[in-house]
Structure 1
């Protein structure tokens, strides 16, 4: 199979889907309207609720949901061959992930910008909402801790990326100042910021910055502390100060990278050297593991938290939701497609052939079991080969890929910190529907978030304590996606709208994730990992409980003759 064919199928398929199915979801199913109230204007505070132009918001939303997910997930998923990974990345965003992200954004907007867990109280029931908020807090706790650890590992692996990544902070603040305070053109200054970012990327090759071991404190632990301090300030600043401009610059970085990789594919047209399908030694069964391995890039539960967390509070018009929510997911699918091409075709360039692929994918232990370094090496190798055909030296190409991966991990880190703060504030609401005690203060609540993440990291002295719980993340994250689709299905049922667009992907995701979770549970029991056994059992009980209550709620909705009328955030008025 020629990689150019795969790329064209994917890209043109997404364009067609956006202009057909996406428009139907927007105009017919959810009936978006420009004059519908949105939280960014209703609760505008200049900190979290800020009306934002849709192209800037797309930059923020995409860089938040992307992280390392659409990069590492597909790079592992091709262990079963290129076809299963490609089909899931192509069809998943159109019929599952895009619907999931879009629906979460719209429903949250119509409920006063509440997070997914808080919305569940009004859509399903109060008790389910509270337990769902707790489940979401657990997932976000893992995300913040693991992404701080991942960034620390990446900085240690790629010291040449450090200068560019950290210089992006003052560059983004400067861009935000020029755009919001001086009223300058956002496109011009964001592109100027991107150029400065690349200048520092080149300088970074000659000035790598590596933190040394300081007694018993490893470089990764030092980076974790620095990164969590950064996440604290970045997630308490007004969104237009750092978050928006930095994510907008990163979105340009993404577009440039995707353009370069796409041109590389067009010029070189490398053949896919990976097998169509294989069962590598030690690899688990494709069903259901592929669907919890490739999350971002197809569908991911974390996206519903981003849509109903930071993104919804910046939505300027309800009709922008198709562009930001559905379009953002298709863009992520396009990125995942290019990653699949890099690790199935790019690694075989310049005479490497199929051995270039099997160097990384000869067995499960050399892929998923080999750790982040091995997974990223396949990506960097394949992508830098594609860049080389465009005239970019391989060392610079590797540096640019490292900067890209770390930049996106950083956006997920501080956005997840902010989203977890929102969830904690909702969890600790009193009778007056406002956060109680010190949780009224965003600085205190954010401090709780970062301290909890640091504590999880330091369960192990090397800073990798979060890895003890990480095995449950994949299934839990995809279970959240299924539950988010379930909430959307209940919402549509109560509105007397067709439910099949959310019901069908919901059933598929719940089947795959419950299957994977039960499979994981048996493995944890065999290995006598009782902590993971307990967490997995609790997760399964919560999921089954929520599913039962959701179907009861839908059954009641269909018995009623009147159309469901949602209350627009009365508690916040």
Structure 2
């Protein structure tokens, strides 16, 4: 099939559904009000609560929810065929993911920017708070540890990305000073900062930085340590000092990267005929792969729906959105933009990689190039393999525009690493919020100190990262659990939104209720299948944690169902104050 036509059809669908379904939900279901009180204004403190222009907070929110999730997930799931992958990305993002992200954002904004665990305690019952926190904290812990490893792997694979990724930090901090301290124009100066960052990308291409083993610690371990230190510092700084200006740069970087890939699709299509999708349309039983159902819906998370998004919505974003109407653009719009990215990932790994791939000194093309990465599930699921499949496929398309292949590789490597870095320190900041909220009202006051709470979060992530040794890859031991933890979290948040909407009256709860039932059923099915695999393999750690997740999830689902039955449309807890 022509990759360009598939891409254009998907893009048109996202735009149409934002205008129709998204605006309908905002106006009719959540009744967004310009005059409604929002936490960024009511609780403004200059550090976490800061009213922000929607274009800037969109950049923060999108780069935080994106990371490498919408890249790695679709790049793995294509092994079952590009058609089921695209159907789930398209339908899931519009009908489930965007509703989930937008709903979580609105509920948090209407509850002083509190986390989803606090919101669940309010709309379902207080008993669910601790259970929900277990799922939430496991999700955040794995994200922090694994995304540090992702960046470390990228640095090791693409040393040209090291210099520009680290130099983006001082560039962003300088941008923050210019915008917030000296009143500079945000758009003008952020574009100048973006141009400066791309200068560092070109420099990095010719000055790659590759480190060796130091004191017995290999490169991935060294980079992971550096990134955890960075996450601690970045997540304790005021959002206006680094988080917002860096994410504004990254939002522009996103536009440039997406534009380059889109133009690359057109250039590749018209320069040598069509850009053909070389991956199979459907491949129901790849070698060694788990069944497509239910694991397609677990493997592609961020590109369709992801529980982590609700943590960002109710963590950092709800504290910065300046008005309720802005939430539609930020929450619903960001999810559809992520679907755009995932669509381009499918194009890159299903078609772009077929333009040519060099492995072991041999240049492969077409189906042979695709098969190099997708000969079996073991090959497809490898972290490095999937990052390489996307980066190389995207670079192939960008090269057709006239950009040297080495520079194109550096651009895409920096793109992936920058987004992963944003997700990593945002997750650390949200962990701090969650710990503070969990112990609020208790005799334990130590977690009210942001440095201690953040230090605990980073320390635990470090323990997980180095649990397997000095290579920093310990989080991979829990990575098989992440997909199910992430998706069950999304199902639980959808259940909370459903109870909230039923309390407002009418049948508006259907928009989140049906997705909650579907995703909950698929994820519990996958958890049960995984439990059998873990027990057969004698993996006690994964078996115990998997059972814990299953227990707490079923408990919250049961409590949500009971609350749903008791909610009559006039429940005081559903008031939007």
Provide the TM-score with structure 2 as the length reference. 0.96
Query: How far did 1:565 drift?
Result: 4.6
Say if 2:553 is the partner of 1:540: no
- The residue aligned with 1:321 is 327
- The residue aligned with 2:466 is 458
Say if 2:259 is the partner of 1:253: no
Query: How far did 1:282 drift?
Result: 1.3
- The residue aligned with 1:494 is 503
CA contact under 8 A between 1:296 and 1:332: conserved in structure 2?
A: yes
- Matches of 2:464 and 2:369, distance apart in 1: 37
CA contact under 8 A between 1:112 and 1:568: conserved in structure 2?
A: no
1:334 corresponds, among 334, 340, 352, to 340
Query: How far did 1:566 drift?
Result: 4.1
- The residue aligned with 1:297 is 303
Deviates more, 1:52-61 or 1:125-134: 125-134
CA contact under 8 A between 1:111 and 1:566: conserved in structure 2?
A: no
- Mapping 1:211-226, distance limit 5 Å: 211-226=211-226
- Mapping 1:104-503, distance limit 5 Å: 104-269=104-269, 270-278=275-283, 279-349=285-355, 352-368=365-381, 371-430=382-441, 436-461=444-469, 462-497=471-506, 498-503=508-513
- Matches of 1:256 and 1:128, distance apart in 2: 43
- Matches of 1:210 and 1:389, distance apart in 2: 28
Query: How far did 1:375 drift?
Result: 1.1
Query: How far did 1:140 drift?
Result: 0.8
Query: How far did 1:232 drift?
Result: 0.7
- Matches of 1:153 and 1:345, distance apart in 2: 24
- Matches of 1:80 and 1:255, distance apart in 2: 29
Q: Which whole-Å deviations, capped at 9, do the CAs of 1:295-323 have from their partners, x for residues lacking one? A: 01110010000000000000100111110
- Matches of 2:385 and 2:130, distance apart in 1: 40
- Matches of 1:48 and 1:60, distance apart in 2: 13
- Matches of 1:35 and 1:203, distance apart in 2: 48
Deviates more, 1:352-361 or 1:47-56: 352-361
- Matches of 1:40 and 1:566, distance apart in 2: 21
- Mapping 1:91-106, distance limit 5 Å: 91-106=91-106
Deviates more, 1:172-181 or 1:463-472: 463-472
Query: How far did 1:563 drift?
Result: 4.6
- 4+ residue segments displaced more than 6 Å: none
- Matches of 2:432 and 2:571, distance apart in 1: 34
Query: How far did 1:225 drift?
Result: 1.5
Question: SS where residue 315 of structure 2 aligns?
Answer: helix
- Matches of 1:183 and 1:324, distance apart in 2: 24
- Mapping 1:521-560, distance limit 5 Å: 521-558=531-568
Deviates more, 1:252-261 or 1:221-230: 221-230
Question: SS where residue 408 of structure 2 aligns?
Answer: helix
- Matches of 1:111 and 1:537, distance apart in 2: 32
- Matches of 1:280 and 1:176, distance apart in 2: 49
Query: How far did 1:567 drift?
Result: 6.4
Name structure 2 gaps, 5 residues minimum.
270-274, 357-363
Query: How far did 1:218 drift?
Result: 1.5
Q: Which whole-Å deviations, capped at 9, do the CAs of 1:361-419 have from their partners, x for residues lacking one? A: 12212211xx2221122112211111011111111111111111100100000000000
CA contact under 8 A between 1:274 and 1:357: conserved in structure 2?
A: yes
- Matches of 2:126 and 2:282, distance apart in 1: 46
Query: How far did 1:103 drift?
Result: 0.2
Question: SS where residue 52 of structure 1 aligns?
Answer: coil
CA contact under 8 A between 1:496 and 1:563: conserved in structure 2?
A: no
- Matches of 1:555 and 1:377, distance apart in 2: 49
Question: SS where residue 302 of structure 2 aligns?
Answer: coil
CA contact under 8 A between 1:96 and 1:299: conserved in structure 2?
A: yes
CA contact under 8 A between 1:34 and 1:319: conserved in structure 2?
A: yes
1:517 corresponds, among 521, 524, 527, to 527
- Mapping 1:52-71, distance limit 5 Å: 52-71=52-71
Q: Which whole-Å deviations, capped at 9, do the CAs of 1:232-277 have from their partners, x for residues lacking one? A: 1100100010000101101101100101111111222201111111
Query: How far did 1:135 drift?
Result: 2.1
CA contact under 8 A between 1:141 and 1:452: conserved in structure 2?
A: yes
Deviates more, 1:342-351 or 1:286-295: 342-351
- Matches of 2:183 and 2:444, distance apart in 1: 38
- Matches of 1:568 and 1:450, distance apart in 2: 35
- The residue aligned with 2:359 is none
Deviates more, 1:219-228 or 1:521-530: 219-228
CA contact under 8 A between 1:495 and 1:565: conserved in structure 2?
A: no
- Matches of 1:82 and 1:483, distance apart in 2: 29
CA contact under 8 A between 1:33 and 1:318: conserved in structure 2?
A: yes
- Matches of 1:318 and 1:70, distance apart in 2: 27
CA contact under 8 A between 1:104 and 1:304: conserved in structure 2?
A: yes
Name structure 1 gaps, 5 residues minimum.
none
